Chains A and B, each alone.
Chain A
Amino acid sequence: MTPRPPETSPPANDQRSYGRANHAFFIALLGTAGIYPAVITALVVSTVGYSGLQQLWAPWGDPALRYAAGLSLGSSLASGLLALTMATPCGYVLSRFPRRGTRFLDVLVYLPIVLPGLVIGVALLIFFQTGVGRFIEQHLMTFTFAIKGVILAQTVVATASATRIMKMAFDAVPMRRAQVARTLGATRWQAFWHVELAEARAGLFEAYVLAWATAFGSFGPVVLFCGTTRFRTEILSASVFLEFSIGNLERALAVSLWMGTLTGVVLLIARGLPRKRALW
C-alpha cells in the first residue's frame, strides 16, 4: 500500500466551513449589535420629523423653560459631584471588603436602581416628616419643595449607578498594588489617593458622566419631592411632562430634543477628553 503523503494544510472544504462560520459570526454580531442603535435612531428621527427642526428652538423664548433648562443643568452637575463623592467610598468598600456586611450594602445600593423614581420621591417626603427629617429642615437646611431638594433627589438616584461603576473601577486595580505602595512608605490615605484612585480615574470619570446623565434625566423623585413650581423647582423633564399634560405636544417634543442634544454634546465632549494622562 502506498504511504499517504503528510497533509500540510487542512482540506479545502474545512477551510470553507471555517470561513463560513467566521462570516456568520460577524453577520450575527453586526445584526444584533445594530438593533438597539437602530431603534434609538428611529425614535430620534421620527421625533424630529414630527416636530420639525424649525420648531426646536421655538420654546426658547419662554423664560420659564430657560429657567428649567438652567436648573436642570446646574442641579445635575452638582448632583453628579455629590453622587461621585458618595459613590467613590461606597464602591471602594464594596470592592475591597467583600464580606457579609458589605453584601447587604451591595443590595442596599441597588435599591434606587430597581425602585421606581416616584417611590424614591415619596420616601424622601416621608423621611422629612420624621423627627430626624424635621430637625434637618428646621435647623440645617430646607429640602422639601426647594432647589436643594431637587439636588438631593437627583443625587439619591444618581449615586446608585455611580457606585456600581466605581466598584468595577476599583475591582480592576489589584489590591496588591496598594499594598506595594504601603511597603514603599505610603500611608493608607496616600496609597488610596496616589495608586488606587489614580488608577481608577477612568471609572471616576465614567461614574461622573453616568451620574450626571441620570440626574439630568430624573423625573419621578424630583417631581414628587419638590413639585414643579415654575421659576422655582421646575426642571426640564418636568417641563416635558407639563407640556404633555396640557396637550402641547410640539413644545414637549422640542424640550425633549433639547435634553437629548445637550446630553449628546456633553457625552461627546466627555468621550473626547484624554483619559490616559495622569490627573495627579
Chain B
Amino acid sequence: MVDRDSDNTGHLRLEGVGGQWGRFVLQPVDLDIRPGEYLVLLGPSGCGKTTLMDLVCGLRNPGQGRILCDGFDITHADPAERAIGYVPQDYELFLSRTVRGNLDFSPRMRHEHGPQIAKRLEHTVDMLHLEPLLDRRVDTLSGGERQRVALGRALMAAPKILILDEPVSALPTSLRDGVCRELKALQSRLGITTIHVSHNLDEALSVADRLTIMEIGCVVQTGEPDEILHRPADEFVAEFTRCRNLWPVEIRNGQLKMDAVKEARSLFQDYGSHPDGHYLLVIRPEHIHLSPAPDTARPDLLTGRVQASVRGSHSWMIEVAIGGMLAYACGQKNWAIGEHVQLDLREDKPWLLPA
C-alpha cells in the first residue's frame, strides 16, 4: 500500500493455536509467517483452513494458544483492530453499495478522510484497473471484476497481512492461471505478507514462497515448494502432492531392499544413516523415466508391464506393474498397455518415510 510501512511489518506468528467448535477439533498450530512472504495454506476441503484463518482475523476465538502480529498479542483483539485484510471465498461484496462504496468502506467506517485516503483510493483503483467500474453496482460485475473489487476493498484498509481465501476458486478455470500470476505480481510489488488459502496444488505451486499443508484439523508440514514435493512429512502430504510412488522397502545394515526388485541395492545409494526397519520409498512420477525393456531379463534393472495410461494437460501418467507393486511414471510419450518397459530412476537417494 502507498502508506504502509512495508519494512518489518506483517510478521505473523501462531503459537499452539487450536480449539474445538462442535465436532471439529483444530489441533494446536505453530506457524511463523515472515514479513512480505507469500504463504499458501493448502489442504483438502473441510480440513480447517478457513477456521484457522477465522482465528487469525478474529472472527472466532481460539480455545488455546496465542496469535502475534509484529510481536503484539492479537489473540483476543477485535477484528477491526488487527490490520488484517480478508478476501473471503465468495468475495462477499456489499450489495447495497457501488464499487466505489465498497472500496471506501474501510476509511468511512474508521472516519478517515483527507488527501491521504484519496491518494490511496486512486492508487488502488489504478493498480487493479477499477476506474471503469467505480459507479457500477456490484451485482452487475463478472467474477474476475468482483475479485478485483474485493481485493481493492481489503487493500484500502491498509492491512499488514492479507488473507485470500480460495481467491480463484469462483473463477472459470481458463482465468485462474492468469489471475494467480497477477496476484503474485501484485504481492511482490506491495511486499505485503499474504496468506493464500487453497485446495489446489497447481494453484499453490504457481504463487507460493512457502506452503503449509493441512490435514483434517492439523497442520502437517510447512516448507518451500521443493521441500514439500520431494521430502513430504508423511504419506498424506506425499499423496496430496500427487507423489503416487510410495513403495514399501526395508533397510538392513544401510542397504535398501525391495521385494519387487532383487538387486535394489544397485539402484540406490547407501542409507547408512537410517536405522534398520520398514520404510516407504518416495519417488515423484516425474523422476521416473520409461524406456523399452531389454529382451534379456537383468536382476539389477527395474522393469514392468504398462497397465494403464492417462493423458494429463501436459503429460501422460503411466501405471506400471512391477511384480506385486505399482509404479507411476510421468512422461511425454504414451505407452501401449501390456508393453514391457524399463524404469530409470532419476533420483539415486529417494526420500524415505517411516512405514
Contacts and interface: CB of A to CB of B under 8 A. Distances in A.
Interface of A: 174, 176-177, 179-187, 190, 194-195, 198-199, 201, 276, 278-279
A183 B150 CA distance: 12
A184 B153 contact: yes
A176 B150 CA distance: 13
Query: Binding site of A, secondary structure by majority: helix, strand, loop or mixed?
Result: helix
Contact of A183 (B57, B90, B95, B96): B57
A182 B80 contact: yes
Contacts, number: 69
Interface stretch (B19-27, B81-89, B223-231, B270-278): B81-89
B105 A199 contact: no
Nearest to B158: A185
Contact of B109 (A176, A179, A185): A185
B80 A183 contact: yes
B88 to A, nearest CB: 6
Nearest to A190: B109
Contact of A179 (B59, B84, B90, B94): B59
Interface in B88-117: 88, 90, 92, 94-97, 101, 105-106, 109-110
B95 A199 contact: yes
B110 A185 contact: yes
Q: Which 10 A-B pairs have the closest CB atoms?
A: A198-B96, A184-B106, A182-B79, A186-B109, A183-B86, A177-B92, A185-B110, A185-B109, A185-B80, A180-B92
B156 to A, nearest CB: 8
A147 B32 CA distance: 67
Contacts of B195: none
A276 B94 CA distance: 13
B183 interface: no
Interface string B221-250: 000000000000000000000000000000
A177 B94 contact: yes
Contacts of A198: 94, 96-97
Given A184-B153, A198-B94, A278-B97, 5 more contacts: A183-B84, A183-B85, A184-B106, A184-B157, A198-B96
B40 interface: no
A184 to B, nearest CB: 4
Interface of B: 57-59, 78-80, 82, 84-86, 88, 90, 92, 94-97, 101, 105-106, 109-110, 137, 153-154, 156-157
A186 B156 CA distance: 13
A181 B94 contact: yes
The residue among B82, B86, B96 with the most chain A CB atoms within 10 A of its own CB is B96
B192 to A, nearest CB: 15
B96 A181 contact: no
Contacts of A190: 109
Contacts of A179: 57, 59, 79
27 contacts: A176-B88, A176-B90, A177-B94, A179-B57, A180-B88, A181-B94, A181-B109, A182-B80, A183-B59, A183-B82, A183-B86, A184-B80, A184-B85, A184-B109, A184-B156, A185-B80, A185-B109, A186-B80, A186-B105, A186-B109, A194-B105, A198-B96, A199-B94, A276-B137, A278-B96, A278-B97, A279-B96
